[in-house]
Amino acid sequence: MPRTSKEWVDEMLRDHYRDARQAKEDGRLVCWSTSIAPQELLTTMDIVTMYPENHAAAIGARRDTEPFIAYTERKGYSSDLCSYARVNLAYAELQHSEAENMPMPDFLLCTSNICHTVIKWYENLSKELNIPLIMFDTPFNHTDQVQDHNAKYMKGQLYHIIDQLEEITGRKFDYERLREVMEISNETCYWWKKATELAAAHPSPLDGFDIFNYMAIIVFARGTTQARDLFHLWHDELQEKIRLHQGPWKDQEEKYRVLWDGIACWPYLRYTYKTLKKLGINMVTSTYPKSWTVSYETGDIEGMARAYSGNVYPNRNLNYDVDNMVGLARKFDLDGIIFHSNRSCKLMDFRQYEVQRRVLEACGVPSVIFDGDQTDPRLFSEAQYETRVQALAEMMETNRAKKGRAAQ
């Protein structure tokens, strides 16, 4: 086993793509799936599952998305379409990237909880590749809780997905194995939550941009003992740093603590991180970790359906978003918030300004919004980002001075 959790992350990512390509060569079924989908059903059936969002992010981090984006736009896809979709739709035809290569799918699984763009994206893939598409529809939660009739509707769909998987594989579904996978998935989410919440310590033991790297594992390996043990190890490493009173960096101290709202700008990950670190700003949390804490009672299919609908903040109403962010601001003792107005993620963009207003009103935490995109590098401005971050640093310093005077 690798010596550190970071080494283990790198190893698991390499193995994930390598083993999937080998499995395809060996004749095993491969599924492409949206990120927060009921992987428990696929894991139970021992189906190799790949995640186009993860893959597009990896291509973005290598700054290699422009050829894919240009390819889809030449075919007539709008530049306003999610850049993950544009990258993946191109990959489905080109079938090669400098980052990693995914084996082509035999069928698709699409869950609508993260956004509705994925529905048309996966319908297009299904049509172009002439392969089956399994849909798991999770109604948007306009109310503050998941409604009982929606939970029953989604529970029925999960059983229908099981029927579809039996038809595709020609094998009976093993419900005892499902219980085991559900238990492992719960344990994995438990240690993910425990690890990411340790960033609430002062100073935070976590350099928050690490969350983006570890997040790849919670996406594709949530139902495995390897992921569970990885996050347990990560938790223990962070706990030891807290005991030693070690902060996120060896060469400087944590000065300000912020939340990052929105997906990372993968082509500019290093730049966005270094700009923050230069000013002593540490991202201690994000609105993303909770989305992958998909917890339920083992064996409770309806509870699992509720979790997939209610735990994903893009599928919740504005009140939930505000309450969640205010809670994070208090739990992690935030000095500020950075909103990434992500061109690809319009569902979240359209409500960021109202969330920003309400959060400031509720807890007085200042924030800034910058324009960008998760994988389209044309939509990010280094100058604008740096100016916004500097403005936030000034607001956080002013806030701190006011609090200091009030305490005297």
CA geometry: angle at 51 spanning 206 and 53, to 5°? 65
At 2 the pLDDT is 60
Instruction: Give the per-residue pLDDT at 405.
Output: 59
| Residue environment code for 267-286, b if the CB has 16+ CB neighbours within 10 A, otherwise e | bbbeebbebbbebebbbbbb
pLDDT of 313 reads 85
Percent of the chain at pLDDT > 70 equals 98
Give the pLDDT confidence of 303-330 residue by residue, as tens digits. Answer: 999 999 998 888 999 999 999 999 999 9
**Taking 80 as the threshold, does the pLDDT of residue 1 lie above it?**
no
The pLDDT of residue 286: 93
The answer to whether the beta carbons of residues 348 and 82 sit under 8 Å apart is no
Q: Both ends of the chain: CA-CA distance in Å?
A: 53
The order of strands in the sheet holding 30-33 is 48-50, 30-33, 107-111, 133-136
Phi, psi of 128 (to 5 degrees): -65, -40
Strands 107-111 and 133-136: what pairing?
Answer: parallel
Confidence of residue 406 (pLDDT cuts 50, 70, 90): low
- Secondary structure (DSSP) of 132-197: -EEEE----B-SSS--HHHHHHHHHHHHHHHHHHHHHHSS---HHHHHHHHHHHHHHHHHHHHHHH
37: left (phi over 0), alpha (psi -120 to 50) or beta: beta
- Domains, in order of start, for the chain: 5-177 (3.40.50.11890), 246-407 (3.40.50.11900)
For all residues of the chain together, what is the average pLDDT?
95
| Mean per-residue pLDDT, 161-180 | 98
Residue 18, CA distances (Å) to 8, 11, 228, 317 in order: 15, 11, 21, 40
pLDDT band at residue 291 using 50, 70 and 90 as cut-offs: confident
- The pLDDT of residue 232: 98
Task: In whole angstroms, give the CA distance from residue 74 to residue 57.
Answer: 21
Mean pLDDT of 206-229: 94
Question: Is the whole-model pTM more than 0.75?
Answer: yes
- Residue 166, amino acid: E
Average pLDDT over residues 342-367: 92
**What's the DSSP call for residue 36?**
T
In DSSP notation, 81-92 reads S-HHHHHHHHHH
Average of per-residue pLDDT across 220-232: 96
CA-closest candidate to residue 92, choices 61, 68, 65 = 68
Which 8-state DSSP code applies to residue 224? S
Which of 67-71, 261-265, 344-348 reaches the highest mean pLDDT? 67-71
| Cα–Cα distance list, 179 to 2, 13, 104, 155 (Å) | 29, 26, 29, 16
Q: What is the DSSP letter of 344?
A: T
- Cα–Cα distance list, 386 to 48, 143, 368, 381, 396 (Å): 41, 38, 11, 9, 15
Structure tokens at 198: 């340790």
Q: Is residue 77 very low, low, confident or very high in pLDDT (cuts 50, 70, 90)?
A: very high
Give the pLDDT confidence of 142-167 residue by residue, as tens digits.
999 999 999 999 999 999 999 999 99
Mean pLDDT over 272-283 rounds to: 97
pLDDT of residue 350: 84
Close Cβ partners of 186 (under 8 Å, ≥ 6 residues apart):
295, 296, 298
Query: What single DSSP character describes residue 25?
Result: H
